[in-house]
Amino acid sequence: MGFLSRMRVAAVLGLVVMGAPASWLCAQEAKTMLVEPPAPLLPDQIGEWLLEPQPTGAIMCSDQSERPESLVLGEDGLKCYEHGVYRSTANKNWTITVTARQFVDATGAQSAYSYYRRPGSASGGSKIGDESGNGYLSRSGTTVVSADSTAPSVKTVAMLKELETHLPKVGGPKGLPPLLPTYLPAKGLKTETIKYALGPVGYQATGGVLPAEMIGFDKAAEVVTAKYEGKGTLTMLLYPTPQIAGAHGRQIEAEMNREGSAAGTVKLRREGPLVLLTTGAWGAAEAQRLVEGIHLRSEVTWNRPVPPEFHAEIRKTVSLLTSILVFCGLGALAAVILALFLGGGRAAIRVLQGKPAATEPEFLRIDLSGSAARIHTEGSGVEHGG
């Protein structure tokens, strides 16, 4: 067989061998993947209220539309949502239309609740029945529930409170509500104006006073804004680290200087990862007291993903410290090996010369007795007087 013939055979064998994994991968890809459908958020019955038959796919796990509402919910970490209509068995004309939206954590749920809450609603916190009239809005853990009802308010509130016990419960850090809104001073606070945001679209939609692009939502920033009776607006921003807070605080300061008197009374203060800003019709002394009276507490936690840049800095620091430790360890090991080699070599040479491996150190001696002494060499014996 000639050289060219052998080359053709080798090429054919190579193609066969390379083709085997490809066919195996195709067989692997052809396997059927079973996807577990999401658990329902709305129970079939709540007391006298029966859930009307739901169409297929009533439980949705994503909203890819470009509507502002969809973009806000995407920023907040929408996990799935379900829409249903409950009808009373006692009165067929009574219906409660409910939409339950489940988020990844309570932080995202609080942001969505803030987005849906409208000015003029009853101020009672974030529990069931805080909204007046036929508009009902609540947050329970990681789920936000909104409802419209044709039934009496008492019946509706009782049904929604019962619904809360059936909603998914999440423990650990994901179930903890954000602490940033709790730093708002209570005196003069208009609770219905509290807006908490996790992304630029939600921040702009809730009437933020700063350009969204300079806040740093890509660095996992949290923002809460609130208005005070007869005064202006307080904005609080929380960042993962003081360094990130300092960088964005300087950008905000430059923007406020550019706006000048149009921004009202501006007082800016930073404490660690927290940035405080007043705008609007504040008195200068009152605004200063406000920002100086807000301090971080030890129970502040961070339950949102830290930005990739922060992880990268940590990895760089760990890598540098590891390299230093490895270098020091190798240097110490090299010093020990070198000492053993030189000391052992010197001892071996002395043994080969017929001398002991270890010797006592030799000292120069000055004889102050005044008597003459014979100069002798090493190993010549005892000194003899002259």
Give residue limits of the domains in the chain. 36-174, 178-306
Q: How many CB atoms sit inside 10 A of residue 251's CB? A: 15
List CB contacts of 294: < 8 A, sequence separation 6 or more: 183, 185, 236, 271, 274, 276
Does the pLDDT value for residue 13 go beyond 50? no
Strand partners, 271: 274
**Rounded distance, CA 323 to CA 318, Å?**
9
**Rounded distance, CA 5 to CA 24, Å?**
29
| pLDDT at 14 (0 to 100) | 46
- Highest mean pLDDT: which of 5-19, 167-181, 255-269, 349-363? 255-269
Which carries the bigger pLDDT value, residue 49 or residue 386?
49
| pLDDT at 382 (0 to 100) | 47
Strand partners, 147: 98, 136
Does the pLDDT value for residue 365 go beyond 90? no
Written as six digits, the tokens of 222 are 């949290």
pLDDT digits (tens, 9 = 90+) for 77-109: 999 989 999 999 999 999 999 999 999 999 999
**CA gyration radius for the chain?**
38
Nearest by Cα to 303 from 218, 203, 176, 182: 176
Does the pLDDT value for residue 22 go beyond 60? no
| pLDDT at 355 (0 to 100) | 77
| pLDDT at 314 (0 to 100) | 75
> Buried b / exposed e across 85-122, counting CB within 10 Å, b at 16+?
bbbbeeeeebbbebbbbbbbbbbbbbbbbbbbbeeebe
In the chain, the amino acid numbered 268 is L
Instruction: Count Cβ atoms within 10 A of the Cβ of residue 175 and give its class: 0-12 exposed, 13-18 middle, 19 or more buried.
Output: middle
Strand partners, 59: 82
Across residues 300-305, what is the average pLDDT? Answer: 57
Does the pLDDT value for residue 57 go beyond 50? yes
Confidence band, pLDDT 50/70/90 cuts, at residue 304: low
In this structure, is the dihedral angle defined by the CA atoms of residues 253, 255, 256 and 258, taken in order, positive or negative?
A: positive
Phi, psi of 180 (to 5 degrees): -55, -45
Confidence band, pLDDT 50/70/90 cuts, at residue 12: very low
Where do we find the tokens 């007869």? 230
CA atoms within 13 A on the CB side of 233: 19
Instruction: Count Cβ atoms within 10 A of the Cβ of residue 235 and give its class: 0-12 exposed, 13-18 middle, 19 or more buried.
Output: buried
3-state secondary structure 269-310: EEECCEEEEEEECCCHHHHHHHHHCCCCCCCCCCCCCCCHHH
Across residues 205-217, what is the average pLDDT? Answer: 92
Confidence band, pLDDT 50/70/90 cuts, at residue 298: low
Does the pLDDT value for residue 302 go beyond 60? no
Does the pLDDT value for residue 23 go beyond 70? no
Written as six digits, the tokens of 255 are 């923007």
| pLDDT at 378 (0 to 100) | 53
Angle, helices 106-116 vs 68-76, to 10°: value is 150
pLDDT digits (tens, 9 = 90+) for 233-285: 999 999 999 999 999 999 999 999 999 889 999 999 999 999 999 999 999 99
Q: What is the mean pLDDT of the chain?
A: 80
Which carries the bigger pLDDT value, residue 297 or residue 159?
159
**Long-range contact set of residues 318-325: C-beta below 8 Å, sequence gap at least 24:** none
Using an 8 Å Cβ cutoff, are 160 and 138 in contact? Answer: yes
